[in-house]
Amino acid sequence: MAVSIEGQQTVYQVAPKRTSLIKAAAAVAWKDLRTELRSKETITAMFVFALLAIMIFSFALEFDRTGRAASAAGVLWVTLIFAGTLGLGQSLGREKDQGCLDGLLLTPVDRSALYFGKLVGNFVFMLIVAIVLLPLMSILFDVSFLNGMVFVILVLGILGYAGVGTLIASMSVYARGREVMLPILLLPIALSLLIPAVRGTRGLLEGVAVNELTIWFNMLIAANVIYITLAYMLFDFVVEE
pLDDT tens, 12-25? 343 344 457 788 88
Distance CA 8, CA 202 (A): 77
- What number is the average pLDDT over the span 188-217? 90
**80 contacts 130 by C-beta, under 8 angstroms:** yes
Q: What is the pLDDT of residue 98?
A: 64
User: What is the number of other CB atoms lying within 10 angstroms of the CB of residue 112?
Assistant: 18
pLDDT exceeds 80 at position 127: yes
Q: What is the pLDDT of residue 155?
A: 94
Residue 143 per-residue DSSP state = -
Please tell me the pTM assigned to this model.
Answer: 0.83
Report residue 27's pLDDT band, with 50, 70 and 90 as the boundaries.
Answer: confident
More confident residue, 109 or 76: 76
- What number is the average pLDDT over the span 175-204? 86
Q: What is the pLDDT of residue 3?
A: 39
Distance CA 176, CA 178 (A): 5
